[in-house]
Amino acid sequence: MSGPVLAAVLAQAAPLAACLTILIGLRERPRAAAGLATLSLVVALGATAYLVVVVAVPDVHWVAQTTWLPVADGPALAFGVFFDPLAATMSFVVAFITLAVMVYSLGYMAGDPGFARYFGFLALFAWAMLGLVLASNLLQVLVFWELVGLASFLLIGFWFEQSAPAAAARKAFLMTRVGDVGFLLGVLLLVRALGNATISDVVAAAGPAGVFSPRFTTTVALLLLMGVIGKSAQGPLFTWLPDAMEGPTPVSALLHSATMVAAGVFLVARLHGFFAAAPEVMRGLLWLALATALATATMAMVAEDIKRVLAYSTISQLGYMLMALAAGSVTAGFFHLTTHAGFKALLFMAAGIFIHHAHSNDMRVIATKQPRSQRAGVIGLVSGSLALAGVIPFSGYFSKEAVLATLGQHAGTAALALAYLGAGLTAYYTFRMVWLTIPVGAVGAVGAEGAVGKVHYEPSGGDRAMAASVLVLSALTLVLGYLGGWLAARLGHEGVEHGPFAFGAGPLVALALVAAGIALAWVEFGRRGAARAGFAERVPALRAFFGDNWYLDRLYGATLVRWGTALSRAARWHDHTVLDGASDGVASGTVWGGRILARVQAGYVQAYVAVAISLIAALGVWLVRRGGLQ
């Protein structure tokens, strides 16, 4: 086994071994469980860093497979690793973010009764996601795709004894399964057509010299995109993601940065050659992602839960990634995924510091609890917000401009104009969040002096672990933006063509809209004496519409849930009344027949003789009438 292949296997084996060891043998030893899980991610990070260094040439990939399940007269199901610069970089991002979340969790989850179980689930999630990224074929991707869903379910519902997290976990699991049905059908069609589902073969078969017809490619692309839409919370299947905020905040940081919700985006990048052979599907994906980005931006404008604001922003930014991929640029889409992983994990961790301190997710409540005393949280929230809004020189500016440049070149004026509008809305709701959480005026807890009291805050060891993760990610927001050219050279795709400070008409328009969004947020929330209510919040109808997910959950409840409930009740009635009734009726008839015969079989000889004589007499009468006796 070569060095790179061994590194790819080791990156997956380490978190798997940690998960099994923790869940089987270390449930009662939380410190050992946390240490083992963290160590496994250190190993995985080192292995994926080695892959990034070794696999540095575009269009060169490594494949190592072994037959997993031979099938007579059918496809031999293989299991292995496949990695190129795209997979190597993604695996490094996954390992790095997961390790940062684990370090942060040492402080945030300290004292939780399920501390060891939590780290076991994190290790399970890391193994599933790394397995998905490094899979050699789509059947293997499907297995790890579902394992990612399982791990997400376990983490979102970690506090399962509470009703809200349990309900959120069920909703996430069920809504993503809707898309996964299409994903499964698409993979099975590919296996039937090719005899295997190796990623390189699938991409080659859809090319100009491939064996797939345009109709087949379009059909399979639509089915695979159903899985992408569910996993990456796009279109009508996005409503599970805001509810998933009921899980622990470090879990939110993990799910929203480089793992579960980015899995769909990564799959489109991984199979971009296949999807590009279905241009109508890609065009539809672009407009669906654009509509999702704008719709969820409006929802973020009225949300008061800081984690829900960040959840809506994640859905919106995933839309930008998919727009870039649909417009033809793997580099721009993946570049935005990479920078977003850093600043979104940072934002959730910074929010977690405030939540941990204030014991509330409500930004208006946090503002009364002396948020400025949480210096690491302030640094993380501000730097992450600058990156999310797309302000120079933070990472989000460069990746967002790469996306907008791609749209300008390939998507048309209308799509570009709406994407610019989304950039302005992003800046607005992001700084609305900043100024609601960290107000400029004196808003704080009432102290002994009767006014806004000063709070003496002494950080603990857990707080230092949280702060360390936040400060490292804050520094990265100033670095990651300069990796666009390096990433484009490695991926060998069309991508970032402008330098980091190249000011053309497009970047200037985007910067102007970002500045306008920040200025509007300052007027409404930041300046002293501001009303602290946005323009959408002052219109009750808009506030209700945006704040209730555009009434999509109500629509689903009134239609799909009601119809599904009625169907399940009808099935239950049929099962209990018709099927059980028939079988129970046969059983009851047998019982009653037996009872009647039991009365006849009384044990009296006189009765038996009387019955026999009666039967013989009846037989004689019947024979006489039939003329049987001559």
Alpha-helix residue ranges (DSSP H) falling in 198-303 = 199-205, 214-231, 240-243, 249-257, 260-270, 272-276, 279-300
- Does 409 map to a domain? yes
Give the burial class of 30: count Cβ atoms within 10 A of its Cβ; 0-12 exposed, 13-18 middle, 19 or more buried: buried
Q: Which of 254, 263, 433, 279 is nearest to 346 (CA)?
A: 254
d(CA 263, CA 132) in angstroms, rounded, equals 8
Same domain, 603 and 536: no
- Does 359 map to a domain? yes
DSSP 65: E
Give the burial class of 360: count Cβ atoms within 10 A of its Cβ; 0-12 exposed, 13-18 middle, 19 or more buried: middle
Give the burial class of 587: count Cβ atoms within 10 A of its Cβ; 0-12 exposed, 13-18 middle, 19 or more buried: exposed
pLDDT of 452 reads 38
Q: Which of 31, 12, 44, 470 is nearest to 250 (CA)?
A: 470
d(CA 524, CA 135) in angstroms, rounded, equals 49
Looking at this protein, which amino acid is placed at residue 438?
Answer: I
d(CA 472, CA 350) in angstroms, rounded, equals 12
Number of domains in the chain: 2
Same domain, 532 and 574: no
Tokens (6 digits) for 521: 């947020």
pLDDT block averages, 10 residues each, the chain of length 630: 85 95 90 94 95 76 72 68 89 94 92 92 94 91 92 92 90 89 93 85 82 90 93 89 90 81 90 92 95 95 94 94 93 93 94 91 90 89 95 92 91 91 95 92 42 42 82 93 84 52 65 94 87 87 91 87 86 83 82 75 72 87 72
- For residue 81, list its beta bridge partners: 64, 135
Same domain, 509 and 463: yes
Domain termination residue (choose one: 547, 565, 583) = 547
- Does 594 map to a domain? yes
pLDDT of 225 reads 94
d(CA 535, CA 532) in angstroms, rounded, equals 10
- Does 386 map to a domain? yes
d(CA 184, CA 30) in angstroms, rounded, equals 38
Same domain, 516 and 600: no
Q: Which residue has the tokens 């829900």?
A: 308
- Does 584 map to a domain? yes
Same domain, 506 and 593: no
Q: Which of 46, 35, 28, 25 is nearest to 119 (CA)?
A: 35
Same domain, 453 and 598: no
d(CA 506, CA 504) in angstroms, rounded, equals 5
Same domain, 473 and 372: yes
- Does 333 map to a domain? no
- Does 16 map to a domain? no
Question: What is the C-alpha end-to-end distance of the chain, expressed in Å?
Answer: 99
Same domain, 452 and 533: yes
Q: Which of 400, 396, 419 is nearest to 294 (CA)?
A: 419
Same domain, 395 and 469: yes
pLDDT of 447 reads 37
pLDDT of 347 reads 95
d(CA 125, CA 15) in angstroms, rounded, equals 9
Domain termination residue (choose one: 492, 522, 547) = 547
Structural domain boundaries enclosing 480: 352-547
- Backbone dihedral region of 235: left (phi > 0), alpha (psi from -120 to 50 degrees) or beta? left
pLDDT of 600 reads 64
Alpha-helix residue ranges (DSSP H) falling in 328-460 = 330-358, 363-366, 375-389, 395-410, 413-437
Looking at this protein, which amino acid is placed at residue 578?
Answer: V
Same domain, 500 and 374: yes
Same domain, 506 and 610: no
62-69 vs 77-83, strand pairing mode: antiparallel
Same domain, 396 and 468: yes
Q: What is the DSSP string of 406-420?
A: HHHHHT-HHHHHHHH
Domain termination residue (choose one: 516, 547, 578) = 547
- Does 251 map to a domain? no
Q: Which residue has the tokens 């639509």?
A: 222
